[in-house]
Structure 1
Amino acid sequence: MSVDWFSQLQKARKKCIVQNNLKRIHFELDDNREMVEEYDLNTNVVTRRAWRINRQLKGENSWEIEIGDPEPSYDSDNKYIIRENSNQPFITRRNTRINLEWRIRNLPYPIEVYSVLVDKELSALIVQTTNKKYYKKIIVPDLQRLCIELEQENVSFSHRFNTLIITYKKPRRLIDFEKALLEEIKKIKPEDSEEILKNCKIS
């Protein structure tokens, strides 16, 4: 476990609300970063994680999604959803008790053309196809924060419904870290406050 990252989260100002079977924790770190995590109360798994680096630069409600689907964007009149090209590949992150998972949609090629390789120098997963139609470098911040090196043996992938599903088996150190953090989170008393809910809104 990275004592440094764990201690940062321990020292962070934290607020908690429970809503719709989700526990939402709002962390305010000493370096002015903010992080929101949402936990499924049935599984205790993080279903969503988002970051706000700088309110003044990013805007009050501008968040970078690390885990979970991005929120839909609307036009200036807040009426119409703005979507990316539905035919272009896009990637989303998932989290389970034992795995990190990425889904890259709109990839129609057969599984034989894909490779997912660990690049230890870049500390990333490199996804590419032999037909040179797709290339993606995937950073794994969960492991970077704990200074855990990527290992090829933990990588597996499958392909169905035009979606490449990449799975990375969580190292024991990450699992232990998540268990320890969960125990810290259990100590936080949920607050019933509309202001907290407003501040934790991810969009």
Structure 2
Amino acid sequence: MAVQSWTDILKSSKKTALIHDGKRKIHFLFTDGKEMAEEYDLKTDELIVRKWRVKSTLGAQGQWQVEVGEPLAGPVTSLDSEVIKENCSNPLFMRQDTKNSFQWRIRNLPFPKDVFCVSVEPSDRYIIIKTSNKKYYKKFSVTDLDRNKLPLESSALSFTHANNTLIVSYQKPKEILTLEQELLKELKKLKGTSEGDVDCKTQ
């Protein structure tokens, strides 16, 4: 049996759209039971959030795992609770894409730019961030490239550092840009309901 491409998997998924709060929210249900939820800015069409949920082996709903966007925070009781004070200096890793690049931001890294080394490990399909002062190390994959079986190229990688934040960018290959444009066209054709508004009116 031929292995389905990511484009085919996306096309065959059951999609539901919701327009709410200046965002186009799309829910994908795949044939294997996995779920993906995406949120796009209505004005710019930029992807703000992408998260995944997989059923457990017993069929229970799993927790959402964020791939793009702010990591899901646990319930916080008050802004000056001890929990936050303790963790606020830890490096915070998150992905926030732009139209033309995959982009990762790591906050709370107060080192000069020349301490950082950002490189590609093409055989293992990872991007590696390390510091010469041995204070930070991170290895991560570019899930979009993996799903589309595209190579990881050193030439597409760049990084900057400002305000204690390291910003790593990876130029999207043309195959991804084409796929994203085609998908967006499809998603815009979905009739966006506003059913979710009902739940939100009790603010």
* TM bucket, shorter chain: 0.7 to 0.9
Between the aligned partners of 1:41 and 1:56, the Cα distance in structure 2 is: 36
Unaligned runs of 5+ in 2: none
CA distance in 1, matches of 2:67, 2:116: 24
TM-score by length of 2: 0.87
Question: Which consecutive aligned stretches of 4+ in structure 1 deviate over 3 angstroms post-superposition?
Answer: 55-61, 79-84, 194-198
Question: For the Cα contact (< 8 Å) 2:55–2:62, is it kept in 1?
Answer: no
Residues 58/196 of structure 1: CA separation in 2 closer, same or farther (3 Å cut) = farther
Q: Do the aligned partners of 1:74 and 1:80 also contact (CA within 8 Å) in 2?
A: no
AA of the residue aligned to 1:10: K
Q: String of CA shifts for 1:135-177, please: whole Å, max 9, x gaps.
A: 1002110111111111111111111111111111111111011
Give the TM-score, by structure 1 length. Answer: 0.87
Identity %: 37
- Please tell me whether the aligned partners of residues 15 and 196 of structure 1 are also in contact (alpha carbons under 8 angstroms): no
Question: Relative contact order: is structure 1 or structure 2 higher (C-alpha 8 Å, sep ≥ 6)?
Answer: 1
SS of the equivalent of 2:5 reads helix
Alpha-carbon distance between aligned partners in 1 of 2:165 and 2:141, rounded to the nearest angstrom: 19
1:41 counterpart = 2:59: no
Residue 166 of structure 2 aligns with an amino acid whose one-letter code is L
Give the direction of change, closer, same or farther, for the CA distance of 1:70–1:59 in structure 2 (3 Å limit): farther
Alignment-derived partner of residue 119 in structure 1: 121
| Number of residue pairs the alignment of both structures matches | 194
Deviation at 1:192, TM superposition (A): 2.8
Q: Deviations for 1:43-88, whole angstroms, at most 9, x for unmatched residues?
A: 111111000011677965721000000232117xxx4576471111
Q: Mark the runs of 5 or more structure 1 residues left unpaired by the alignment.
A: 199-203
Q: Does 2:5 align with 1:11?
A: no
Task: Give the SS at the match of 1:73.
Answer: coil
Q: Secondary structure at the match of 1:49?
A: strand
